Chain A
Amino acid sequence: MSHTPEKHQFSWIKKIQIFRLPLIVIIASGILTINLIRTLQVVGDLQAKRRIKPYSFIGDQFAPIKAILKNESRVGYWSDRSLDDRQAAALLAQAQYVLTPSILELNALDHHFVIFDCRNKQDQINIIRTLGLKPLKISPAGFILAENPNIK
């Protein structure tokens, strides 16, 4: 029995074609198994981390001033940190989420209320004094809510 070269050339493709469905099922089963193992690893690792350091939403530290700001449409947010720093950017974004519907204006001091979040806490107090603002609330995390009596 003779085969043309063309038939020889593509015979392996035909073999694959015959077994394509089992092949796909085997690969899919392999991926599924690996994925389930990785799921256990990912979830286990995160749960282990959480046991050491429980999940926290850093914006929650702004919750105590929500009642004070509830009627304010705009609030200043003054920070000397660069927002390229993920921690500082996350703090601003989460503060904004917690204090919604007030809108936080970054580095705007011309509001009745201004939130200060500086790296050096003494500088923070000096700035508030220099601007003639009145500190209303100091959080354990270090930010200060200040009031500007000259702006209503």
Chain B
Amino acid sequence: MTLLIPYFLSLTIGILALNILFSQQNRLSLPLFLALAFLTGMAESIFICFLGFLIFNRFHLPFIISAHLIEILIFLAFHIRRPLTKFRSAFKIPPLDPDLLIVLSLVGFLSWLYSSLYPNGGWDAWQVWNFKSKFLLLSGSRWKDLFDPILWRSSPHYPLALPLWNAWTAACAPHLLDLAARLNAILLNILTALVMFSTVRQYSNSRWIILPVLLPFTMPSYMLLATNQYADLFITVFFLASLTALFSYHRTHDVAFLAITGIFLGILSFTKPEGVILAAIIFLTGHMIFQRPSFLRRDALLFWIATGLALVPAAIFFLFLSPGNQTFFNGLISTEHPSTLSRLTIIFIFLGREILGMHGGGLWGLILLSALLNFKQAFQKKFALFFLPIILYLSVVGTYYWINTRFEILWWLSVSLKRILNSLIPAAVTWIILAICSQKKSSSITDAEARKHNPSSLP
């Protein structure tokens, strides 16, 4: 039971924070509210743990718990100022949705099943992520030894979001760290499914939407990676949540969505170096999409402030703690390991094979086919929020594979490209479902308008 205390505190903070942020006019559905609240609470807990390290130079559990309780009290004080009857103002409770229950139970069961096959996770789980979690939890004031270049196999230049979250969730029962890491992988899968389902449910009541939502979670190649306790799962869920929050802002103009997007971008940049790139791409794409005057003033300012504040931990990490990338050879200037044309060709072929081949269970093929068949809808300006970051991110990653010649390219692609593509799948699937739903919606609007203008023209 003590293992559940950190989860409870993080979720409480997230619920209270979102309840303050979101206006009464744009109430979220309870499932989406809970998913975003959990992710916001996770982000807050990670930032508090990191602050604890900076202040006390060790994992300081009394400080971390006190900080959580103080934050909860402050948020409650905000609520007391409101009438008690409006306490639930930020979310609405929809009727029980059996589709949601099917999605959550199936994703939960499959995640548990796959995670039970490898209870200690994959190679990088014990070499990188869980090792760092354990070190942060147990090393006391020696925690900065984690950035010693002799630990280059554990990628000391990778930021600490997932290790801090694992350490926090195991803080009340350190001997259960392995179990906490496994539970976190299952939880992140469930949250990914919850964000996907509850986002698309806002646009369609069709039972069919559970089909595409379930697709990634039934793919063995996706689930084996999604339950191996890697930080890529953090990238998956926070990337998806950032895009859906930005998309919701586009629809509602509720600045609260921009505030939580900023928080999610902060976590993305604190998860992995490629998360920094992804966060920068999403931030810039957001500005390309929102060009209405109000965004340029008040909304943009809030977006910058939220993102700026949330980026502070990542900035501190990269400026003062990271030993720098130990595994980088600049192939553009190296004569021994140059970035050759053949290397670039291999990258393209491998990428094409992963996307168009059956390696990913045919899901990328279906995504591309659906995008082509719904070209007008899928590539509308508002959906650039989804497809531009995916295209730009893959371009940047491809360029990095080409320039960094530290590793033999075929081996490197085989161990990392699949993970990168996997982390984009839920966002890509959500994009396609939203595009198809918007097409159905716009065609029904067109019919309605046509009836209004010329009632005799329609049956």
Contacts and interface: CB of A to CB of B under 8 A. Distances in A.
Nearest to A86: B123
B138 interface: yes
Interface in B202-248: 208, 211-212, 214-215, 218-220, 223-224
29 contacts: A17-B373, A24-B373, A27-B369, A28-B211, A28-B212, A28-B215, A31-B363, A32-B211, A32-B214, A32-B218, A34-B361, A34-B362, A35-B219, A36-B218, A47-B117, A55-B119, A57-B120, A59-B126, A90-B123, A93-B153, A94-B126, A96-B127, A96-B131, A97-B134, A101-B134, A101-B140, A103-B148, A103-B151, A106-B150
Interface residues of B, number: 43
B219 to A, nearest CB: 5
Contacts of A20: 373-374
A39 B436 contact: no
Nearest to A55: B119
Interface in B136-161: 138-140, 142, 145, 148, 150-151, 153-154
Contacts of A105: 150
A27 B366 CA distance: 7
Per CB-CB distance, the 9 closest pairs between chain A and chain B, nearest first, are A101-B139, A35-B218, A20-B373, A93-B127, A97-B126, A42-B220, A101-B138, A100-B134, A97-B131
Interface in A18-38: 20-21, 23-25, 27-29, 31-32, 34-36, 38
B373 A16 contact: yes
Nearest to A36: B218
A31 B134 CA distance: 39
Given A24-B366, A101-B142, 12 more contacts: A20-B373, A32-B211, A34-B361, A34-B362, A35-B218, A50-B117, A55-B117, A96-B127, A97-B127, A97-B131, A103-B145, A106-B150
Contacts of B150: 103, 105-106
A46 B220 CA distance: 12
A93 B366 CA distance: 39
B177 to A, nearest CB: 10
B45 interface: no
Contacts of B369: 24, 27
B113 interface: yes
Contacts of A25: 208, 211
B23 interface: no
Nearest to A83: B153
A57 B142 CA distance: 27
Contact of A100 (B110, B138, B208): B138
Contacts of A106: 150
Contact of A31 (B113, B114, B135, B361): B361
Nearest to B117: A46
A142 to B, nearest CB: 21
Contacts of B138: 100-101
A73 interface: yes
Contacts of A21: 436
A50 to B, nearest CB: 8
A93 B148 contact: no
A43 B361 contact: no
Interface string B351-383: 000000000011100100110011000000000
Size range of the interface on A?
35 or more
B130 interface: yes
Interface string A86-99: 00001001101100
A86 B219 CA distance: 27
A98 B362 CA distance: 39
Contacts of B223: 39
Interface of A: 16-17, 20-21, 23-25, 27-29, 31-32, 34-36, 38-39, 42-43, 46-47, 50, 55, 57, 59, 73, 90, 93-94, 96-97, 100-101, 103, 105-106
Interface in B82-119: 110, 113-114, 117-119
Interface in B379-410: none
Given A28-B215, A31-B363, A32-B211, A100 B131 contact: yes
Contacts of B212: 28
A73 B145 contact: yes
Contacts of B361: 31, 34-35, 38
A16 B138 CA distance: 60
Contacts of A27: 366, 369
* A47, A57, A100 pick with most chain B CB within 10 angstroms: A100
A31 B366 contact: yes
Contact of A24 (B117, B362, B370): B370
B373 to A, nearest CB: 4
Contacts of A103: 145, 148, 150-151
A101 B151 CA distance: 12
Nearest to B374: A20
A42 B227 CA distance: 14
Contacts of A16: 373
A39 B366 contact: no
Interface string B284-308: 0000000000000000000000000
A105 B149 CA distance: 11
Nearest to B113: A43
A23 B373 contact: yes
Contacts of A31: 215, 361-363, 366
Nearest to A29: B211
Contacts of B117: 43, 46-47, 50, 55
B357 to A, nearest CB: 14
B135 A100 contact: yes
A55 B220 CA distance: 19
